[in-house]
Amino acid sequence: MKIQYPKVALGLVLMLSGFVLMAHASTLDELKALEAGKSELQPRAELRSVPETSTTPAGRAYRLPDGRSINTADYRLVLFMQSSCHFCQQFDPQLIQLSTQTGFKVFPYTLDGKGDVSFPQAIPAPRAVLDQFFGPGNNGVTPTTWLVNVNTLQSWPLAQGITDMNSLLQRINQALMFHQR
C-alpha cells in the first residue's frame, strides 16, 4: 500500500514522537526532582526535640588524634537509658563529665519513660527512633551510646552497656577519623 500523503504521515510521526519525548522528558524531570529531594537530608523531628543536657558551649573545635579538628556542634552523643538501670546510674554521670570535657552534647532518650539523676529530662524514645537505632521491633539495651552527625544524620554505634570513658572517647575518635577521610 502506497502512502499518498508522505509529508502528512511524516509530520504525524514527528509530532507523535515529539509528544512522547516531551512526556518522557517531563517524567524524567519529575523523577530527578524527587531524587534531588531525597539527597537533601532534613533532621528528624525526634532528634530536634530532645533537650540538650550539657554545660558545654554551643560548639567548639575538637582535635582528633590525627591532628584534624571537627566542630562538636556538628555531632551529638545519643544515649539510650532507663531510670531503673543500675548500669545507667553508674555510666550517665561519667558521660556528663566526658561531654563537659570534649564539648559533645548529649541527647538522652529513655526506654522506660523516666529520667534519672543525671538526665532528669530524658525524652521517651519513640518507636521510630528505637527501630532506627536498634532495628525494627527491637527495644534496645541500656545504656547504649551512639555518635550522630546532626547535619547528615549518619550515626555510629559507640557502646552498649557500661563502658569506661577512655574506651568511649577512643571509639568517638575512630568514628570521626574514619568519617573525615
CATH of domain 45-180: 3.40.30.10
Whether the CB-CB separation of 93 and 61 falls below 8 Å is answered with: no
Predicted pLDDT of residue 146: 98
pLDDT digits (tens, 9 = 90+) for 48-60: 444 444 444 467 9
pLDDT digits (tens, 9 = 90+) for 50-108: 444 444 446 799 999 999 999 999 999 999 999 999 999 999 999 999 999 999 999 99
H or E element in which residue 109 lies: strand 105-110
Taking the C-alpha atoms of residue 60 and residue 74, their distance in angstroms, rounded to an integer, is 10
**Residue 48: helix, strand or coil by DSSP?**
helix
Round the average pLDDT of the chain to a whole number and report it: 79
Domain ranges of the chain: 1-40, 45-180
Among 88, 139, 136, 143, which residue's Cα sits nearest to residue 116? 88
pLDDT digits (tens, 9 = 90+) for 151-161: 999 999 999 99
Whether the CB-CB separation of 152 and 41 falls below 8 Å is answered with: yes
Q: What is the pTM of this model?
A: 0.68
CA triple 57-142-77, angle to 5 deg = 20
User: Any residues with CB less than 8 A from the CB of 175 and at least 6 apart, and which?
Assistant: 147, 156, 158
pLDDT digits (tens, 9 = 90+) for 7-26: 444 444 444 444 434 444 45
Predicted pLDDT of residue 181: 59
